[in-house]
Structure 1
Amino acid sequence: MSEFLAGSPIPYLIVCLAVAVSFFFIGYFSGVRRGIPARGAGPSQFGNDAAILKLVVEHAHEGLVMQDIYGRIEWTNPAYSRITGYTAEEIRGRRPQEFILAPESQVSPEEIETFKFDLTKYQSGFEELIHNRRKNGEYFWNQLTFAVVEGKTLEDSKIIVICRDVTSKVEYMEELEVVRNTLKYQAEHDDLTGIANRAKLSSFLQETVSAANETGRQVGIIHFDLDHFKEINDSHGHSVGDAVLQHAAHVLKSVLGDKGLAARTGGDEFIAVVSEPCSREQMQSLGNRILDGLAKPVKVDSQSLKVSVSVGLVLADGAKSSASELINCADMALYAAKKTGRSRIAWYTEALGAAHRQKRMTMAQLDEDLETGRLTLLLEPQYSFEHRRIIGYEAFACWLHPSRGLVDPVEMLSSQEDVKHIAKIEHFALRRGIAEIKRLRETSTHPFFLSVNLTGASLKDPGFRDAVEELCDENMFARQDIVIELDEKIIRLNESDGLADHLGKISELGCQIALDKFGSGHGGAGQLIHLNADGLKISRLLIAGLRDGTSQQQLVESIIRLAATLGLKTSAVGVDTQEQAEILRKSGCGVIQGEVISKPLTPREAETHIRDFVPQFEMQ
């Protein structure tokens, strides 16, 4: 350092020391702000300013380098030697590019020889981060800050460089970036399948739609789910179900390739966004390849499973559709594929969209009428051959459809998707039915029973039992006077999603159980053995073809005998003629209902009917 002070030109020395002394003044004024008393003005206690500057330069943590305009090093401070491992004598007169650059940053000897600083670029404050290598071969990150000291001529100008070893900071930032990228990946991808999740799908689709708005491109959506996937989980376990989902994701990703984004949106539902679909034929081809890929048996734990899927396709003008509209269209297409038989492809069409909008408006009206109780209760009388009179009524709710007139609202709804609606409708029939049967009892003095048809929507409702008890207590209506009719096709004793496990609720309440629509082909006589039922109701399909001397009559008579053997009461629905009524009476059927007794009645009509009713078939 002393040799440098003795031999360097005074202007350059002043500049170099000025850079170094800046550190001193920064520290000094920082001390003042922290409350360290400032010393009085006057001569320094070190004796002279040169001594102060020398002390600061030699003890600075940052490396200081002075280079000429051609990059040759003219002077360095001790910190630069500590950072690089090179002594001042080893590098004086050399360019840093000759000895300090990491392999990936090295330049040719010709470039080093012809190097010259562009002073317009390296003005005061210009910074650069570069990967360097110390003398011992260790790599480090060097943050360089440049300042230009202009001389009388361009050749006399000097470049002052402050060097800082920021390796630990860069490594920390790299680690932070790795963590950030990992968290971002986890936030945007499905843990089980590794493909994108709903959040990533949403952002990608929005970006795709925005790009399509600018270019006028079309956007394609493929939406599919696995048919009867719940049965796979129930029959083989969730680990097998997970393997099937992973297989489905692999097929989708393989088919899609780099044409867009594959995502699992939840459960067994998958959506692919095709960023640049060429044509409707291309979309159809992708859908077919998904069907074919998943139709091949997948081997899981030595088991060979066949999986089928339903696929909905959408191809739309991105400039005319929003991301949410495209997903809604894909939902409608998928639903159409399932409705038409599953294991197939369905396209979204304008007609499909119009039908969906109409259904949505209808459902909104039904919701409103359910909330306000604007449903109609009808009562269908049930006649007993033994008592020779009407002994009960089947109650059911009807709704005034905007275009179709009075309909059974339950038949309009999906047992999987509209569970809450169905439960509300059935609760209405039960509540109003109890009230109206109580009123008919009071006006006629006959102990009529109430029969209602319920589905799993009500029986699986945790609050069902309490609701029935409350209704019975409020109306002082005996629980055994309520007959719960269950369609034989929904019981399914040997299936996990059947109602067998829920029938105990009815028995515990004391209500009677009747197996409805018996003989329609959905159940079997075996259910009667295991089901704790009180009666069965013969299907109107069997009654419709009932004639003397036919095989239909023999079948009905066999059912009646079987029921009697098991101690079950027998009734029949859809009895519309006197001939049918007479055959049933002779065959031992106990109760009938149908047009031969009366069409379904409003409560007021039922009150009049009970006074005036005279069965014609009993008069013959």
Structure 2
Amino acid sequence: MADYLANVPLEFLTVCLGVALVTFVIGYAGGRQLLARERTFPPSEFGNDTAILKLVVEHAHEGLIMQDIYGHIEWSNPAYSRITGYSAEEILGRRPQEFILTPENQLQPEDIDVFRFDLSKFQSGTEELILNRRKNGEYFWNQLTFAVVDGETEEDTKIILICRDVTSQVEHVKELEDARNRLKHQAEHDDLTGVANRARLSAHLQEQIASAREGEGKIGILHLDLDHFKDVNDSHGHGAGDAVLRHVAKAMRSALGDKGLVARIGGDEFIAVVSNPVGPEQLEALGNQVLQGVAEPVKVDHHHLRVAGSVGLVLADASKSSASELINQADIALYAAKKSGRSQQAWYTEALGAQYRQRRQILARLDQDLEAGDLSLLMEPQYSVTLRQIVGYEVSAQWLHPSEGLVDPVKLLSSQEDVKRIEKIERFALNRGLAEVKRLREASNVPFFLSVNLTGASLRSQGFVEAVDRICNEAAFLPNDLVIELDEKIIRFDEPDGLTGVVEDLGQIGCKIALDRFGGGHGGAGQLIYLDADMVKISPDLINGIENEDNKRELVKSVIRLAANLGLEAVANGVDRPEQAALLQEFGCTRIQGKMISEPLSPRLAERHMREFELQEEAL
């Protein structure tokens, strides 16, 4: 800090003045010695040099003291008394160490008694910054500059000290340092939770890896992500969400203690870095502690909220890893934990990494095909039991998987992580489906409807309803002939983001709404009361076995009766055998689809099927 102060221009001037004063004092001391020996010099042009020197020294702002080789004060100027609060008489013959040191820096009396200046260390120009105490007990920062006046012997040597009170400058520097530290802390820490941020995490990992390369060492990573955190924000507000995040950060810090660093890397994701863990058992124990701490209730207003999380674990050789690799591996392990049922821990393994790399390659290929529109369309006909003819088609997008052939690409994706991909796939099915159904209409002169299954990925996209209206207009297809099928499990009436508003808007432009897979165990009959639907599609799980199982038969009959009472059309999906079709007709079901009518077909085969299909009378 002394170096820093010396660079300040004002201080530079002060030092220059101090050096000048030292020169004067040295001359003054020498003059005294010469006068003592009764040697005389001619008067200078200024007159009395000694008087001038005395005047300068007495009015200097810097304190000056002259000491013998043992540190005893032989003389001091008035400024030294102003700075320290001690008069010249009080300190004459004493050493500064006896009265000016702070209690925490106080020397033992025996050490003071044997003090002697080491002239190899204390040379002219030597500087020292030290915290001293005035007579009234007040602390101040003392900038010392030493000057040595050689005598005829070492015993005659005098040490002159320039003392400057630089307390204000030191405090200013300290304020700057504190400001820098605050800015550094803000740049490296998360404002909400107080733990490290992504930038600090990356730097910390780099430090750990760099130090490990000089020797041997392991590094452990715990990657935590909360399960269904969005529900907290939606149901209780972002204030509650913030409280939960602070709770999670506290739980992680408590579990980790001084074993490593905790960082929030975004949203509800946290990473803990454990330096030199004892082994996998320690990491698993820490992971369990974290999950248990996170699961503790969080009090928000008058509510006690409970959340859970999933943890990905990594134990690696630090000298053979990079920061990005470690975070990527932890992310892969976390994904595996979530797939295994959430509120779980999962380890990163090489096999898991290979699966992830393969998945990335597959998704990259899917992205290319999505960009080029290189998907296929399958069309599954729906049959009207009352009209005795095919009346519409449910369409779905298919993708040519590199190794598995044609697959439903949506089933390869995560509804939370791959929203944009799913939206593109569903938009393809809608656009291409409209074109193909329109072509079949023109070929048969039958007003077939189009049915397409959509998820929250499409319904939550900005301007979706307007886009559907525009697409129908461009295809000269009435929205009344478009059926939007929604899986019952994505509709929630007790949640702010339960999609009911979008469903109402779709109905406003004329689209039909079908509640798909009804009876699959995800929803309930109460949905039919609140959802402004037009039809109910009974789940294939209920249809399968109705000819042999009394419970299923009664349940299907109740669903069809309930739909009729609410003015909804009942559609049975997964009708594969004539016995099932006959029972459904008996129960009052008006429309069926399944293998008995046809499996999903390509557009070309769908046209041939449309021309050739005729359901045998005995089938119903």
Q: How high is the TM-score relative to the length of structure 2? A: 0.87
Q: Is the 8 A contact 1:383 1:593 kept in 2?
A: yes
Matched-pair identity in %: 65
Question: Relative to 1, partners in 2 of residues 1:146 and 1:582: Cα closer, same or farther, differing over 3 Å?
Answer: same
Partner residue in 2 for 1:10: 31
**For the Cα contact (< 8 Å) 2:260–2:274, is it kept in 1?**
yes
Partner of 1:265: 265
Aligned to 1:415: 415
Q: Following TM superposition, by how much is the alpha carbon of 1:552 offset from its aligned partner in structure 2, in angstroms?
A: 3.3
Q: Is the 8 A contact 1:222 1:287 kept in 2?
A: yes
- 1:214 aligns with 214
Structure 1 residue 301 displacement after superposition: 5.4
Between stretches 66-75 and 302-311, larger displacement belongs to 302-311
Q: Give the superposed CA RMSD.
A: 3.0
Change (3 A) 1:296 1:163: closer
AA aligned to 2:449 is F
Distance 1:441 1:135 in 2: 105
Could you say which residue in structure 1 is the equivalent of 2:381? 381
Question: Structure 2: how far apart are the matches of 1:308 and 1:619?
Answer: 52
CA offsets, 1:267-295, max 9 Å, x none?
43332211121111222222233334445
Inter-CA distance 7–447: structure 2 relative to 1 (3 Å threshold): closer
- What is the deviation of 1:162? 1.7
Give the whole-Å Cα distance in 2 for the aligned partners of 1:278 and 1:377.
55
Moved more, 424-433 or 382-391: 382-391
Mean Cα displacement is larger for which, 151-160 or 405-414?
151-160
What secondary structure does 2:522 align onto? coil
C-alpha distance in 2, partners of 1:149/1:6?
A: 9
In structure 2, the residue matched to 1:57 is 57
How far apart, CA to CA, are the structure 2 residues paired with 1:551 and 1:281? Answer: 49
User: CA contact under 8 A between 2:234 and 2:497: conserved in structure 1?
Assistant: no
**Aligned twin of 1:570:** 570
CA contact (8 A) 1:222 1:271 kept: yes
Number of residues of Structure 1 aligned to a counterpart in Structure 2: 590
**TM-score with structure 1 setting the length:** 0.87
Shift of 1:617: 4.5
Would you say the 8 A contact 2:97–2:107 is kept in 1? yes
Q: Is the CA contact 2:243–2:298 (under 8 Å) kept in the aligned structure 1?
A: no
Alignment of 1:425-504 (within 5 A): 425-504=425-504
Distance change (3 Å), C-alpha of 1:448 and 1:112: same
One-letter code aligned to 1:82 = R
Aligned to 2:106: 106
Cα deviation digits, residues 204-225 of structure 1 (max 9, x gap) = 2332222223222111112223
Distance in 2 separating the partners of 1:167 and 1:110:
30
Contact 2:517 2:537 (C-alpha < 8 Å) held by counterparts: yes
Q: Which residue is equivalent to 2:538? A: 538
**SS of aligned partner of 1:215:** coil
Cα 1:464–1:12 shift into 2, 3 Å = farther
* 1:580-595 matches, cutoff 5 A: 580-595=580-595
Decide which moves more: 321-330 or 63-72. 63-72
Question: C-alpha separation between the residues in 1 aligned to 2:582 and 2:389?
Answer: 15
**Post-superposition offset of 1:515:** 1.1
AA at the equivalent of 2:108? S
Offset at 1:302?
A: 6.0
**1:35 corresponding residue in structure 2:** none
Matches of 1:501 and 1:99 in 2, distance apart? 81
Query: Which residue matches 2:132?
Result: 132
Look up the SS of the partner of 1:506 in the other structure.
helix
Question: Match of 1:283?
Answer: 283
1:323 offset after TM fit, Å? 1.8
From the superposition, tell whether residues 222 and 148 of structure 1 become closer, same or farther in structure 2 (CA, over 3 Å).
same
What's the secondary structure of 1:214's corresponding residue?
coil
Q: One-letter code of the match for 1:249?
A: A
1:582–1:617 contact (8 Å) kept in structure 2: no
**Does the 8 Å contact 1:578/1:616 carry over to 2?**
no
Q: Give the counterpart letter for 1:338 in structure 2.
A: K
- Relative to structure 1, the CA distance from residue 131 to residue 591 in structure 2 (aligned partners, 3 Å threshold; closer, same or farther) is same
With over 3 angstroms needed to count, the CA separation of the structure-2 counterparts of 1:110 and 1:410, relative to structure 1, is same
Shift of 1:146: 1.4
**Structure 1 stretch displaced more, 467-476 or 94-103:** 94-103
**Greater Cα offset, 481-490 or 497-506:** 497-506
Query: Alpha-carbon deviations, 1:378-400, whole Å to 9, x = none?
Result: 21122223333222111111111
- Equivalent-residue separation in structure 2 for 1:513 and 1:304 (angstroms): 37
1:153-188 Cα shifts (integer Å, max 9, x gaps): 333333232211101112222333334434444444
**Distance (Å, rounded) in 1 between the aligned partners of 2:45 and 2:402:** 101
Quote the residue 2:40 is aligned against: none
Partner Cα separation in structure 2 for residue 494 and residue 353 of structure 1: 39
Measure the CA separation in 2 of the matches of 1:13 and 1:177.
50
The whole-number CA distance in structure 2 between the counterparts of 1:566 and 1:449 is 22
Q: Tell me whether 426-435 or 558-567 shows the greater mean CA deviation.
A: 558-567
Aligned to 2:254: 254
Report the AA paired with residue 78 of structure 1: P
Cα separation, 2, equivalents of 1:56 and 1:117: 27
Residue correspondence of structure 1 range 285-434 to structure 2 within 5 A? 285-295=285-295, 297=297, 303=303, 305-434=305-434
**Aligned mates of 1:580, 1:7 — CA distance in 2:** 122
Cα deviations by residue, 1:485-511 (Å, 9 ceiling, x for unpaired) = 111111122334422222112112211
Contact kept in structure 1, 2:399 and 2:406, CA below 8 Å: yes
Counterpart residue type for residue 412 of structure 2? M
Residue 299 of structure 1 and its aligned partner are, at CA, apart by: 5.7
Looking at structure 2, the residues matched to 100 and 582 of structure 1 have their Cα atoms a distance apart, in angstroms, of 108
